[in-house]
Chain A
């Protein structure tokens, strides 16, 4: 295209148009720097977010279904406490899933149902609706999606460590989180025990290890306190007996450590066997609508969490059991929501700042192009005398603006890619200059994470292109409104 080739010619630095060339080079440099800064910042925050999210999901699954108050107030949930076949105890979601009957009540043997209790929920065929089995069926009917029940319990953990003839006791209240057999990404948070047993994460989470009743995985903070793999202790909890509440103890062995990431309650979680968790949970009878138990939903592409959530809700609605379940993605969990929202706010804030910086940087283009228009006045007249229309003239100077924007984006992107490829070297140098680590490994890990976000690259390309085009509009209009006869007469 003729306009484009003329624009390219105009942008080539020349000694004859020194001032224009200097401003053009400075503009390109400033915009490149801004693009570089934005890409590096977003790549690092995306990398961090991904690592944090991965750790979070490895602990909690990308989607969870928690029973609602409707569930706990339902005939379906309450009936177990007066049914002999349920041992007169309320059941967890997992137990309900495995229970042989949807309605365990036997009118002949069991006590009379209180008159104020809700009635059983029947479908249009008159069959009793099973919210738990129905939910499992609804979830697993979606392609590539798995479901498993989860359960938490609260206990007191006591650990004894003896090293170099020094005995230490550690006691901490903790949340027990049961191993989930459907969780195929738990190895992402298990820390290899290189210094002690030499076992890798995969070797630490063998089926034997995770199904054992005594093995537990504790957070890496215990390792920092001197606990090693193989240390022993017990979990204590209080269970009602015929006489009173009595302390019960279950022996445990530290089978490994995990990195809880930045979950606020991360340091309090202990990953334990499913049987142990279930036992303590049943004894303390601690179920609530937000935390105690529910259904984990597993699938590979966590970016599609919102879509999967909508599909699940749709299926639950079709089955008539949506009122019994609260479906949440990992971004909506009570203990992660604040963090995810904060990350999103920071990204939005920095995006706004970035756009403002780009606008300021691109404003240089306006001055440069106005100078260029004045410099090329005679050529504008000559081109018009040969039939170039005002639109063509405007396009030449508009293209100059866009070309400068795109060139700067290209340079900035290459510089950002180079920086990201050598990020650890650069951070190492900065740390050496500063005398201590620039970034705390507790938050950022041992290696600074980064992942080039193509959404951001696209955003940068479009925004710099657009802002540069806008910057080129005023000079382009000025050029297109010039009258050829006046120019040629004056020249």
Chain B
């Protein structure tokens, strides 16, 4: 069964001028599968990712997560339980520590995040997995770009989601750090059997994925 399925997804922006970004995307991803979406800047990769991640509503069409159609009322809970986001500019909460950032999805999901509780232990495991145990109580504003993105990866995995959506995860990093982040991202996903959709320009990262799709003129085609 597909963990995520997009049915005939269209997206048109009406302001400031009418721009058709997506024109009938039909697309699915199964558990443990890794997919890269490539395309030129402005083709709508981020928009597609936002729609798949329920952050944005499609103009037409629908999204199914684990067989259930996403609605206005269910999208927040679905996002919290089933989807993990990784952004190009990390989007960490600057006033919080590393561990607090990782635990935030659990707190939003009303889980107890006290020391010693399962959510906390899981967050510590994730920190170890991304190699940042020694930064557990550091404020994220003190971390380097690579470290921040690793925190973002750990945060995306906090609630053990079924799908990871990564939007240019290494776009702001140097080559060496990017490689490191790519390896962590792909290996984490494979280790936890997560479905990953990565929007990227990076051919090396795309090459690490099972399937590559190209988004051009609002149409998604398999490479």
CB < 8 Å neighbour of B79 from A382, A385, A390, A392: A385
CB < 8 Å neighbour of A387 from B50, B80, B91, B95: B80
The residue on B at minimum CB distance from A491 is B89
Q: Mark interface residues in A366-390 (1 if CB within 8 Å of B CB, else 0).
A: 0000000000001101111111111
Is A9 among interface residues, defined by CB-CB distance under 8 A?
yes
CB < 8 Å neighbour of A386 from B56, B95, B104: B104
Is B110 among interface residues, defined by CB-CB distance under 8 A?
yes
Is A116 among interface residues, defined by CB-CB distance under 8 A?
no
Which residues of A439-491 are within 8 A (CB) of B? 483-485, 488-489, 491
Q: Say yes or no: A485-B79 contact (C-beta < 8 A), given A382-B91, A385-B91, A387-B108.
A: no
Which residues of B65-86 are within 8 A (CB) of A? 76-81, 83, 85
* Contact yes or no, B89 A489, CB < 8 A: no
Most buried by A among B50, B77, B81, B108: B108
Residues of B in contact with A, size category:
20 to 34
Complexed CA–CA distance, A489 and B88 (Å):
10
Residues of B within 8 A of A381 (CB): 91
Residues of B within 8 A of A392 (CB): 108
CB < 8 Å neighbour of A379 from B46, B78, B80, B93: B93
Which residues of A1-32 are within 8 A (CB) of B? 2, 5, 9, 14
* Contact yes or no, B56 A485, CB < 8 A: yes
Most buried by B among A382, A383, A385, A392: A385
* Contact yes or no, A488 B91, CB < 8 A: yes
Is B109 among interface residues, defined by CB-CB distance under 8 A?
yes
CB < 8 Å neighbour of B80 from A382, A386, A484, A485: A386
Complexed CA–CA distance, A429 and B50 (Å):
67
Nearest chain A CB to B107 CB, angstrom units? 4
Which residues of A340-392 are within 8 A (CB) of B? 378-379, 381-390, 392
* Contact yes or no, A2 B55, CB < 8 A: no
* Contact yes or no, B105 A2, CB < 8 A: no
Residues of A within 8 A of B218 (CB): none
Residues of A within 8 A of B89 (CB): 491
The residue on B at minimum CB distance from A384 is B55
Is B53 among interface residues, defined by CB-CB distance under 8 A?
yes
Is B120 among interface residues, defined by CB-CB distance under 8 A?
no
Q: Say yes or no: A386-B105 contact (C-beta < 8 A), given A484-B55, A488-B55.
A: yes
Most buried by A among B46, B104, B159: B104
* Contact yes or no, A485 B91, CB < 8 A: no
* Contact yes or no, B93 A385, CB < 8 A: no
* Contact yes or no, A488 B109, CB < 8 A: no
Which residues of B103-121 are within 8 A (CB) of A? 104-105, 107-110
Nearest chain A CB to B4 CB, angstrom units? 16
Complexed CA–CA distance, A5 and B85 (Å):
23
* Contact yes or no, A485 B55, CB < 8 A: yes
Nearest chain A CB to B100 CB, angstrom units? 9
Q: Mark interface residues in B192-213 (1 if CB within 8 Å of A CB, else 0).
A: 0000000000000000000000
Which residues of A390-418 are within 8 A (CB) of B? 390, 392
Nearest chain A CB to B92 CB, angstrom units? 8
* Contact yes or no, B108 A385, CB < 8 A: no
Residues of A within 8 A of B53 (CB): 385
The residue on A at minimum CB distance from B49 is A485
Q: Say yes or no: A382-B107 contact (C-beta < 8 A), given A387-B80, A389-B76.
A: no
CB < 8 Å neighbour of B87 from A9, A387, A488: A488
* Contact yes or no, A387 B105, CB < 8 A: yes
* Contact yes or no, B107 A2, CB < 8 A: yes
Residues of A within 8 A of B87 (CB): 385, 488
* Contact yes or no, B109 A387, CB < 8 A: yes
The residue on A at minimum CB distance from B167 is A488
Residues of B within 8 A of A9 (CB): 95-96
* Contact yes or no, A387 B81, CB < 8 A: yes
Most buried by A among B47, B85, B159: B85
Residues of B within 8 A of A491 (CB): 89, 91
* Contact yes or no, B50 A485, CB < 8 A: yes
Residues of B within 8 A of A389 (CB): 76-77
Most buried by A among B78, B87, B110: B87
Residues of B within 8 A of A384 (CB): 55, 76, 79
Complexed CA–CA distance, A336 and B80 (Å):
67
* Contact yes or no, A378 B108, CB < 8 A: no
Residues of A within 8 A of B47 (CB): 485
Q: Say yes or no: A386-B85 contact (C-beta < 8 A), given A381-B91, A392-B108.
A: yes
Nearest chain B CB to A393 CB, angstrom units? 10
Q: Mark interface residues in A180-220 (1 if CB within 8 Å of B CB, else 0).
A: 00000000000000000000000000000000000000000
CB < 8 Å neighbour of B108 from A383, A484, A489: A383
Residues of B within 8 A of A485 (CB): 47, 50, 55-56
Q: Mark interface residues in B39-74 (1 if CB within 8 Å of A CB, else 0).
A: 000000011001001011000000000000000000
Nearest chain B CB to A396 CB, angstrom units? 11
Complexed CA–CA distance, A65 and B50 (Å):
80
Nearest chain B CB to A372 CB, angstrom units? 13
* Contact yes or no, A378 B91, CB < 8 A: yes
Residues of B within 8 A of A488 (CB): 50, 55, 87, 91
* Contact yes or no, A383 B104, CB < 8 A: yes
Q: Say yes or no: A385-B107 contact (C-beta < 8 A), given A9-B95, A378-B91.
A: no
Residues of A within 8 A of B76 (CB): 384, 387-390
Nearest chain B CB to A15 CB, angstrom units? 12
Residues of A within 8 A of B95 (CB): 9, 14
A-B contact pairs, 16 of them (CB 8 A): A2-B110, A378-B91, A382-B92, A384-B79, A385-B79, A386-B79, A386-B104, A387-B76, A387-B109, A389-B76, A392-B108, A483-B56, A485-B56, A488-B50, A488-B55, A491-B91
> Can you list the 8 inter-chain pairs with the closest CB atoms, starting with the nearest?
A387-B80, A485-B56, A389-B76, A387-B79, A2-B107, A485-B50, A485-B55, A386-B105
Apart from the given pairs A383-B93, A384-B55, 20 other A-B contacts in the complex at a CB distance below 8 Å: A5-B107, A9-B96, A14-B95, A378-B91, A379-B93, A382-B93, A383-B104, A384-B79, A386-B79, A387-B76, A387-B80, A387-B81, A387-B159, A389-B77, A390-B76, A485-B47, A485-B56, A488-B91, A489-B46, A489-B50
